[in-house]
Amino acid sequence: MNPVTDYYEQYDEDVRLKRDHSGKLEFLTTTHLLDRYLASNHALLDLGAGTGIYSFYYADRGNAVVSTDLTPKHVEVIQERIQAGGYDGMSTRIADASDLSYFEDGSFDAVLCLGPLYHLTDTALQNRCLSEALRVLKPGGILAAAYVNKFFIFPYLVKRDRRFLKESWMERLLEQGRISAADEDCFWTDAYFHTPQEIEDLMDGHGIVKLEHAGTDGISVMLEERVDELDDKEFELWMAYHLRTCSEPSILGISNHGLYIGRKA
């Protein structure tokens, strides 16, 4: 089995963006930015959808949504919710984000790629994923791609466990920018970490016109204990601060997740 699929078959992805303030921030920021560009009549393709938190958000807004994931468990969860909720304009299927041959050219107004890029450890596959996403997009369509920030990982690991405070880990993360499930000391699964500039260069290489580039959790993950203690009114103010600053380069550079939104030329 694919090591990424194997990991997510065991992991409860369904609660990651719901369980606390610091987790919700990524979802709230992503939808806040995407809502500027997505209309309710847009057809969406959600790649690496997990259990479909974004898919169902946009289906509830009236969008026609095709929700895909490589993990069978996730697709089963989505299918059950489609049937239980009567989502007639929504469908789901198992799909590899780097091979969208099932879909015709220009089929969608928007493609959400909010997970695949940080599990494609081969840059050739990352480029193929973006090429396929652009192929199935209509001219002028919206591409949203998430990534995990290379500059975030080492400080966060050290914050959680001092055994990662080693030169070998620093060099691996900064120079290689990738980890493998086969590594004896792997803390996640197959993963690739981009810098904000690397994402800009990757998107530029595909001729994508930049609309937004933001750190979707900003500095909140580094302050997660404090942020999670906030009451609703306090969190509302923190969220307002975050939304006003999440595109600042200095904050983008330390955020856990980054989001690039662009338009197909």
pLDDT given for residue 1 in this prediction: 62
pLDDT given for residue 28 in this prediction: 95
Tell me the three state secondary structure of residue 192: strand
What are the residues whose beta carbons fall under 8 Å from the beta carbon of 199, sequence distance 6 or more?
Answer: 145, 147, 213, 258, 260
- 79's enclosing H/E stretch is helix 72-85
Task: For each of the domains in the chain, give its residue range(s) and CATH number, in order of start.
Answer: 3-263 (3.40.50.150)
Which single residue is written with the structure tokens 């904050």?
251
pLDDT mean by block of 10 residues, the chain; 265 residues: 80 75 90 97 97 97 97 95 95 96 97 96 96 98 97 92 92 93 87 96 98 96 90 95 95 94 97
pLDDT given for residue 5 in this prediction: 85
Rounded to 5°, angle at Cα 213 from 122 and 208: 65
pLDDT given for residue 173 in this prediction: 93
Among 71, 38, 58, smallest CA distance to 261 is for: 38
